[in-house]
Amino acid sequence: MRKIKKNLSFLVPVIAFAVLVVFMAGCEKKTEKNKAIARRVIEEVWNQGKLDVMDEIYATDFILNDPAVGEVRGTEGLKQYVSMYRTAFPDVQLTIEDMIAEGDKVVTRFTFTGTHKGELMGIPPTGVQVTMTGIAISRIAGGKVVEDWVNGDDLGMLQQLGVIPPIGQGEE
């Protein structure tokens, strides 16, 4: 009986450890899948302008939260949002600087570059090459992006476009 008890006392932590490893591997696999979805958003939607893939990447009831434009709902609203930026900056490229995933969220720090060749929210084309940084937080459920929070350096972009003077250089 002692021998059985001794073997069980050894096996319980081993089994618990094995379960933990399997659980962690499953979580890591899920976060890697979520990061792959977030990468597709940058590479296919933004950099290549493939709006047709949005229906397979985004949930139909998707919500975008962007302080520059407010709340955007649904994939059709998102297509208009992306089209607005891609029309204003036809050569837009987003570069992923960092990407971190935990649970159902992926955080992407990116650099946006593009030449202002089309109207952007009432600002006529300037021909200026713009570089701006930003952060996007994506919530992913069921293999689709269900919500994004995006915050870019819109002030810096407007200063580069000449719409707002650099700080300290305004009219006196």
How far apart (Å, rounded) are the C-alpha atoms in residues 162 and 172? 17
Tell me phi and psi for residue 89, to 5 degrees.
-130, 80
Q: Is the pLDDT reported for residue 6 higher than 80? A: no
What is the tens place of the pLDDT at every residue in 9-38? 655 565 555 444 444 445 567 899 999 999
What is the tens place of the pLDDT at every residue in 105-129? 999 999 999 999 999 999 999 999 9
What is the mean predicted confidence (pLDDT) over 57-75?
Answer: 95
What fold, for 2-160? Nuclear Transport Factor 2; Chain: A, (3.10.450)
Looking at residue 13, its amino acid is P
Could you give the percent of the chain with pLDDT greater than 90? 78
Going from the C-alpha of 84 to that of each of 51, 81, 120, 128, the distances in angstroms are 12, 5, 7, 17
Can you give the pLDDT at residue 18? 46
User: For the chain, what are the domain ranges?
Assistant: 2-160
Range name among 24-38, 48-62, 151-165 with the lowest pLDDT average: 24-38
How far apart (Å, rounded) are the C-alpha atoms in residues 5 and 55? 57
